[in-house]
Amino acid sequence: YNIWRCAVSLRENLEKLPVEHWKNERVKIKPVLTQDDLIYATYDCQLTDEQKELVNPAWFSIGRAYLCRENNYPCIIYNESDEPIGFINFSKWLAEGEAVSWSYYIDVRQQGKGYGKSAARLAIDILKAAEPGVMIKLAAETFNTKAHELYKSLGFRKLDEMDGDDYVFGL
């Protein structure tokens, strides 16, 4: 039995969603499909040194998608002018219970403009449409209070479980 496999993959469910599910008033999300997307995600999209300690780099998520394509879906986040501004990877939550998740970041040059919260709201809408009734779980370092506050503002609650040494939030 392979824990990475499910009856219908997260990728299949995401790819079935109509295009209007992939955008809101501020941002849109598109899958990594081209060499330019790959270069943006792994090289051009930058974080502060502190932020690099808090999230998986894009190459890690893209590598995971290569090894387990059906349950990982790496994408680029774009602003309203169709400029790439960040990276997001949708994934199955493989710890305790059935759930879906995402990890993401906004390029340091685009931070502080509200794109992060808009992208998180859009990610919630996308996952709810693709996997209705399935819990969304997010993990954050215990000291990453900025992420904790963001997740709580989006309706997540801190769960009584840990992912390694990270707090887990559920919606």
Answer for the pair 102, 88: CB distance below 8 angstroms, yes or no. yes
Q: Residues, the chain, total? A: 171
The model's pTM = 0.89
% of the chain exceeding 90 in pLDDT: 71
Q: What is the mean pLDDT of the chain?
A: 90
Q: Which of 100, 161, 89 is nearest to 128 (CA)?
A: 100
Give the mean model confidence (pLDDT) for residues 25-37.
Answer: 96
Q: Is the pLDDT of residue 6 over 60?
A: no
Give the mean model confidence (pLDDT) for residues 113-122.
Answer: 96
Answer for the pair 147, 137: CB distance below 8 angstroms, yes or no. no
Q: 168 forms bridges with which residues in the sheet?
A: 139
Pairing of strands 135-141, 99-106: parallel
The pLDDT of residue 5 is 44
Residue type for position 24: N
Residue type for position 158: K
Give the mean model confidence (pLDDT) for residues 79-99.
Answer: 89
Give the separation between CA 92 and CA 45, rounded to whole angstroms: 24
CB atoms within 10 A of CB 54: 17
> How would residue 96 be classed by pLDDT, with cut points 50, 70 and 90?
low
Environment class of 21 (CB within 10 Å of its CB; exposed 0-12, middle 13-18, buried 19+): middle
Q: Is the pLDDT of residue 4 over 50?
A: no
User: Six-digit token pair at 42?
Assistant: 């792994």
Give the mean model confidence (pLDDT) for residues 28-57.
Answer: 89
Give the separation between CA 40 and CA 20, rounded to whole angstroms: 24
